[in-house]
Amino acid sequence: MHLNLAFLFVFYWLSIFSCLGYGVLISKLTQKKVYFKNYGYIGLLGILSLIIYSYLSNLFYAHGLLHNLIIILSGFLLFVYFIFSNFFQRDKIRTLLVIFFLLFISFIIYKPHDDFSYYHFQYSYYLTQFPMIIGVGQFNHGFSTPSSVFYLNSLFFLPFAKYSLFHISALLVFGFSNVILLEKLLRYLKKNRPNYLSFFLLLSLAFINIIFYRIAEHGTDRSAQILIFILVFELILFLNNKKNFDNSLTKIFILLSLIISFKAFYILYFLFLFPVLIYGYKKFKFDLFFKIIKNNFFWYLVTTFFILILTNFFNSGCFLFPIKFTCFESLAWSFSLDHVSHMNNWYEQWSKAGAGPNFRVENPQEYILYFNWISNWIDQYFFNKVSDFLFGLITIILIFYLSFCSIFRKKIIAKEKIFSIYICILILFFEWFYNHPSLRYGGYVLIGLMLFIPSSLILEKFSKDNINYKFKIMIMLIFIIFISRNIDRIDNEIEKYSYKPLKNSHYRLNENYFKIDKEIKSLLNKYSLCTKFGKCDENSTIKTGSILGKLYFKNER
């Protein structure tokens, strides 16, 4: 597969504009008034709409080249229409274009995520070749834990580009999140008086661009964690703002819909709805229920949750694999409950540093109980993975203190309503640390939030006056660091892998990426032949049907 840099650049912008086109359309169709003055939210709404469409459409047909070309070009034409309709403000669209232009360097990748070849690419490609196949989790354990990232990727399987854009989803979320943070931050700077929210936005901007600078490492985990920073900001704003209740609720529903779709275990983050419900009940009493159900994006959240558990169920026989009580062993395509328990223990063992590429602990069942694992986890994972991460966070915070603080303390009104959100963060942190203490499973954002919220309050108390210019310098510095780190990454990939980004900017690819596609086609071909000649075994593990396109069942466990 060869795709030079110029063509990659064209497809990159086509993807961005298509999401914006759908975002504006859905915003106009679902709301009497267009709330999304922040174009980052328009982009996220476009992404969410494409994700929901992708899940539902794949029940009936594959996302082939012609289908995808129609979908993506339609979104692009909508964007062009709204441009000529003067929907987009010049200064804001200019900000979005500058951000995505700067981020393009991170899209030039040779070495993808470690799980990319194992199941990220294979699942995305499978969606372009087949409609839903019931029991597909039997082929690869990664297929038992589907992500909306793969479904979004599959829509960008386009003529000529083919699968060159299968890492576009992480970049789109990353880019639109940057737009949200930067637009909100610039709005605060116009008031010429920074507060804890402006410091929180700047810290979040620094985090995602300096620590999450490698798009190839985002996988299915970091996109959700980026959005959690924005979700917490919106929750703080929501609980401390008496205006725009419906607007804030809409944003919270959109963010939660995307977060849970990226990885099923982020359903735990529904915990953040408790402060919302408590605050809403105090303000509106029982009218809160009617306000929620009248909000169109509440139904987006419900729909996303439903298609998430439905897809999990069709793939593995579990509503949430590998949570045992959500599984049904008796179904034709299901895993055995023993196997589900084994996989659940394996994921826990791995996240607690009890397994790696070259080692396994003895007595894994006992190892994962209680805190038996903690000493080994500290040796194998805390040093140097978590410790390096903490060092990076503390360095960022110290630079902020040195740049913005004085010795004089201001009188600041306490933000009591932040406390309920912080309690939710602490509960989620304890759940993370006890059950799956790997940074990729939510640790990055939880630790970041635990440090950034108090740091933002301290920075507000001790910040100097007239420091807007320092905010702007810090924003420039953040993006300079982001670009520098990606230039260094590309240089290393050129040297180590003989990468040629100008001539062939495609990520690394080999035959193993198509292993499952070949296996499925081979098995379906064998079944087709045995059916044709009437020689199928009654006890065959291969069966097909036509309720939702081609169905495949394989019972080996």
Q: Mean pLDDT, the chain, as a whole number? A: 89
530-541 burial, b if ≥16 CB within 10 A, otherwise e?
eeeeeeeeeeee
- Checking 486-490 for CB contacts under 8 A at 24+ apart, the result is 486/105, 486/106, 486/108, 486/213, 486/214, 487/105, 489/213, 489/214, 490/105, 490/108, 490/110
Question: What is the pLDDT at residue 384?
Answer: 86
What radius of gyration, in Å, describes the C-alpha atoms of the chain? Answer: 24
- Give the separation between CA 262 and CA 222, rounded to whole angstroms: 9
355: enclosing H helix or E strand: strand 355-356
pLDDT of the residue at 414: 54
Kindly write down the DSSP assignment for every residue of 146-188, as one continuous string. --HHHHHHHTT-BTTTBGGGTTHHHHHHHHHHHHHHHHHHHHH
Residue 354: count of CB within 10 angstroms of its CB:
24
Per the structure block, which two tokens stand in for 285? Answer: 């009493």
What's the whole-model pTM score? 0.93
What are the tens digits of pLDDT across the range 382-410? 998 999 999 999 999 999 999 998 776 66
Distance CA(382)–CA(270), nearest Å, equals 28
Q: What is the dihedral of CA 256, 257, 262, 263, to 10 degrees?
A: 70
Instruction: Say if CB 470 and CB 459 are below 8 A apart.
Output: no
Both tokens of 114, joined, read 């470690």
Measured between alpha carbons, how far is 443 from 451 in angstroms, rounded to an integer?
A: 12
CA–CA dist 149, 258 (Å, integer): 10
pLDDT of residue 533: 44
| C-beta separation of 335 from 356 below 8 A | no
Cα–Cα distance measured from residue 67 to residue 514, given in angstroms and rounded to the nearest whole number: 21
Say whether 327 sits in a helix, a strand or coil.
Answer: strand
**338-355 tens-digit pLDDT:** 999 999 999 999 999 998
Confidence of residue 536 (pLDDT cuts 50, 70, 90): low
Q: Where are the alpha helices (DSSP H) in 191-295?
A: 196-206, 222-239, 245-262, 273-284, 287-294
Q: How confident is the model at residue 556 (pLDDT cuts 50, 70, 90)?
A: very low
pLDDT (tens digit, 9 = 90+) per residue, 114-126?
889 999 999 999 9
189 contacts 472 by C-beta, under 8 angstroms: yes
Given a cut of 50, whether residue 550 has pLDDT beyond it is no
Rounded to whole angstroms, how far apart are CA atoms 323 and 194? 45
- Inform me whether the pLDDT recorded for 35 exceeds 80: no
Contact criterion met (CB below 8 Å) for 349 and 355 = yes
Rounded Cα distance between 439 and 207, Å, is: 14
Q: What tokens does 429 get?
A: 């942190």
- H helices then E strands: how many in the chain? 21, 2
Span 13-33, pLDDT tens digits: 999 999 999 999 999 888 765
Residue 540 has pLDDT above 70, yes or no: no
pLDDT at 541: 44
**Sign of the dihedral defined by the CA atoms of residues 60, 66, 69, 70, in that order:** negative
Residue 439 CB partners (closer than 8 Å, separation 6+): 385, 386, 389, 447
Cα–Cα nearest to 110, from 497, 503, 510? 497
